[in-house]
């Protein structure tokens, strides 16, 4: 299977209804109209919130056309939000995957807090992840494995267990917050994981994906230490100031005085429409953010 993405590092906007339910479809459409290469949808969102609106989801898929879709499994919600615990099974994910036809499925992940103090239940974890692997192999998709462990040795152990599936593994995903409490420790761990993937497992085409990292300055540093793929959700409700790469709320869109094509258009629009700023926040703020990431990683 060829790599559907040809340039790395890459930022993948993650679209989740948890942050933006009311504007979900507007948000998705802005992303689809932009020139980003790839984005991530949640299978659980589609299954739970849009089960009676599947035509809208079909339109999204059609419009996505050549963009790369990462389909998030909903594993995190299953283990961390009691409401979903009993309702979300691997077969549900597979059935959404068959409808959406994503290029990459992001696999079920380990429960985070319960395992924090090394009280690992390896069997539970492997049961879920390997069952999913089997399911994904049946629908012939590449998948990503998210490992929620806080223990670097355990991460290596888990990775070794996936050796037999290596032709299907597209990326290894690690949540940024699991890598350590300081930036220095996180960088050290990333280097170790990246070396292990390349040198011990010989997975030269398997990517390293850092989950939940959309801070531009940190992304630049992490990318020097082996990270290929980043995703995050802040871009959905905050704007990035290009001068200091800090996040601010939407009301600062004029104040940051950005001259990207969206901000220039926004300024013109506000002038013509008697300063009715709020009405236009969403569209321009989101496009400003996507343009910002594209200017770094494009």
Question: In the complex, which residues of this chain contact Zn ion (CB under 5 A)?
Answer: 258, 260, 263, 288
Report the nearest approach of Zn ion to the CB of residue 262 (Å): 5
Least Cβ distance, residue 157 to Zn ion (angstroms): 45
Residue nearer to Zn ion on the CB measure, 150 or 297? 297
Considering the complex, state which of residue 69 and residue 286 has its C-beta at the smaller distance from Zn ion: 286
Closest Cα partner for 81 from 135, 16, 32? 16
State the nearest-atom distance from the C-beta of 287 to Zn ion, in Å. 8
Residues 229 and 171 sit within 8 Å (Cβ to Cβ): yes
**Could you give the C-alpha distances from 195 to 145, 199, 203, 209, 294, in angstroms and in order?**
17, 6, 10, 14, 28
Comparison of 213 and 260: residue with beta carbon closer to Zn ion: 260
Which lies closer to Zn ion via its Cβ, residue 93 or residue 260? Answer: 260
Shortest distance in whole angstroms from residue 34 CB to Zn ion: 13
Minimum Å distance from CB 288 to Zn ion?
Answer: 4
* Cβ 263 to Zn ion shortest distance, Å: 3
Closest CB to Zn ion among 27 and 260? Answer: 260
Residue 258 token pair: 């950005």
> Least distance (Å) from Zn ion to the CB of residue 268?
13
Q: Given the complex with Zn ion, which of 111 and 256 has the nearer CB atom?
A: 256
For residues 201 and 254, which CB has a smaller minimum distance to Zn ion in the complex? 254
């Amino acid at each position: 299977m060829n790599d559907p993405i040809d340039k790395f590092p890459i930022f993948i906007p993650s679209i989740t209804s948890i942050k933006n339910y009311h504007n979900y479809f507007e948000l998705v459409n802005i992303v689809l109209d932009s020139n980003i290469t790839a984005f991530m949808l949640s299978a659980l969102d589609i299954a739970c919130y849009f089960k009676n609106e599947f035509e809208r989801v079909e339109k999204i898929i059609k419009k996505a056309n050549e963009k790369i879709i990462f389909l998030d499994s909903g594993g995190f919600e299953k283990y961390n939000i009691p409401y979903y615990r009993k309702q979300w099974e691997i077969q549900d994910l597979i059935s959404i995957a068959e409808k959406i036809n994503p290029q990459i499925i992001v696999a079920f992940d380990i429960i985070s807090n319960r395992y924090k103090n090394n009280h690992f239940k390896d069997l539970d974890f492997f049961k879920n992840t390997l069952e999913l692997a089997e399911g994904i192999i049946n629908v012939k998709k590449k998948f990503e494995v998210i490992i929620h462990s806080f223990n670097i040795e355990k991460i290596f152990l888990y990775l070794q267990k996936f050796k037999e599936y290596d032709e299907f593994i597209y990326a290894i995903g690690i949540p940024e917050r699991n890598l350590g409490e300081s930036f220095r420790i996180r960088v050290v761990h990333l280097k170790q994981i990246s070396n292990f993937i390349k040198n011990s497992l010989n997975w030269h085409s398997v990517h390293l994906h850092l989950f939940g990292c959309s801070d531009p300055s940190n992304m630049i540093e992490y990318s020097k230490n082996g990270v290929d793929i980043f995703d995050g959700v802040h871009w959905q409700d905050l704007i990035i100031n290009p001068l200091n790469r800090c996040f601010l709320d939407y009301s600062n869109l004029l104040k940051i005085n950005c001259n990207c094509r969206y901000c220039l258009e926004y300024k013109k629009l506000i002038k013509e429409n008697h300063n009715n700023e709020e009405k236009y926040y969403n569209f321009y703020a989101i496009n400003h953010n996507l343009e910002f990431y594209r200017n770094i990683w494009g």
